[in-house]
Structure 1
Amino acid sequence: MKNVTVVDKLYNGFATGDIPTVLGLMSNNIIWNEAEGNTLADGNPYVGPEAVLNGVFARLGEEHEYFNLEHIELHDMYNDKVLATLRYNAKRKNNGALINAQVAHFWTLKDSKIIAFQQYVDTKQLADAASK
């Protein structure tokens, strides 16, 4: 359950805007992949916390009035993996489009550090919201 605790701490940090804590839970060599079809996947794979900060988090902030993670359920898996099921609740800045998307995050950890992330999301809903 220690891996679930690490991932829970990451989501709590994200929710409170504590990005230094979020980045500190990542390995220096984290491999981060956004879902194929997501506009943020143009940088896949993002390698290292700084790449995630600039390529994902900063862009989310630039493009959205708010971007919240809700109804997070964490599932302890085998081989240092954690599955998170959740929803994105967001509002686009460019057109006011609302997003309420079903999401899964697949985390891999080693020695209590996150070494890999894979996002699964309804990319059509994200694309539709961006183009309204």
Structure 2
Amino acid sequence: MKPLLSIMMMSACGAAMVACTHAPMETITTTTAMPSDAAVRATVQAVYDGFAVGDMDMVTRDMSDAIVWNEAQGNPYADLNPYVGPNAVLSGLFSRIGGEWDYFTADPIEFIMDVPRVAVIGHYKALYTATGETLDAPFVHVWTVQNGEITTFQQYTDTHAHVTAMGG
């Protein structure tokens, strides 16, 4: 069996290959480069780093203008789900947390990469101002990062622990 390229040349030049001249064929390869695990992880890690130091510009820097952010079902802050866009996340969620808790940490422990998605296993620690009760609960956050921007966020956590700390 003749290779496809030879067959194509023969049909273009005829059976008498001796009399045929042709230019070498140019190969064009197109690929959609997938971002590296390291790049996607760094994008998500920057959110946790920014949150840890109270730098909301760092937290929202890589969020898509159309990010869809969902708090876990049963979480008191799920009342405004979905938060769409960085401004909604800031004003509807983070400003409420900042105003109601003496401190609130979200410490990532493990990143599970399946680019463009990342699952982060971590732990919350917080003190609710109105009750003086603490929150000490695990979480899983699932992020989607596309073209260097965070497009979705989904929280999974012990919502009963959140409600209890808040006096519910």
The aligned runs of 1:1-132 (5 Å cut-off) are: 1=37, 2-78=39-115, 80-131=116-167
- Show CA shifts across 1:81-120 (max 9, x none): 0000101000000011011001000001110100000000
AA in 2 matched with 1:55: G
TM (normalized to structure 2)?
Answer: 0.75
Q: Distance in 2 between matches of 1:24 and 1:5?
A: 12
The structure, 1 or 2, with the larger RCO (C-alpha pairs under 8 Å, 6+ apart) is 1
Residues 110 and 71 of structure 1, relative CA distance in 2, 3 Å threshold: closer
Q: Provide structure 2 residue ranges, at least 5 long, that are not aligned to the other structure.
A: 1-36
AA in 1 matched with 2:51: F
Question: Given that residues 65 and 93 in structure 1 are in contact (C-alpha distance below 8 angstroms), is that contact kept between their aligned partners in structure 2?
Answer: yes
Q: Distance in 2 between matches of 1:55 and 1:65?
A: 18
Q: Provide structure 1 residue ranges, at least 5 long, that are not aligned to the other structure.
A: none
1:72 deviates by 2.6
Q: Percent identity?
A: 40
SS in 1 for 2:166: helix
Q: How many residues align?
A: 131
Of the two, which has the highest radius of gyration? 2
Q: Distance in 1 between matches of 2:124 and 2:131?
A: 17
Question: Given that residues 4 and 75 in structure 1 are in contact (C-alpha distance below 8 angstroms), is that contact kept between their aligned partners in structure 2?
Answer: no
Task: Please report the RMSD computed on the Cα atoms of aligned residues, expressed in angstroms.
Answer: 1.1
Q: Distance in 1 between matches of 2:83 and 2:131?
A: 28
TM (normalized to structure 1)?
Answer: 0.95
Relative to its length, the structure with more strand (as a share) is 1
Q: Distance in 2 between matches of 1:58 and 1:24?
A: 17
Q: Distance in 2 between matches of 1:125 and 1:88?
A: 10
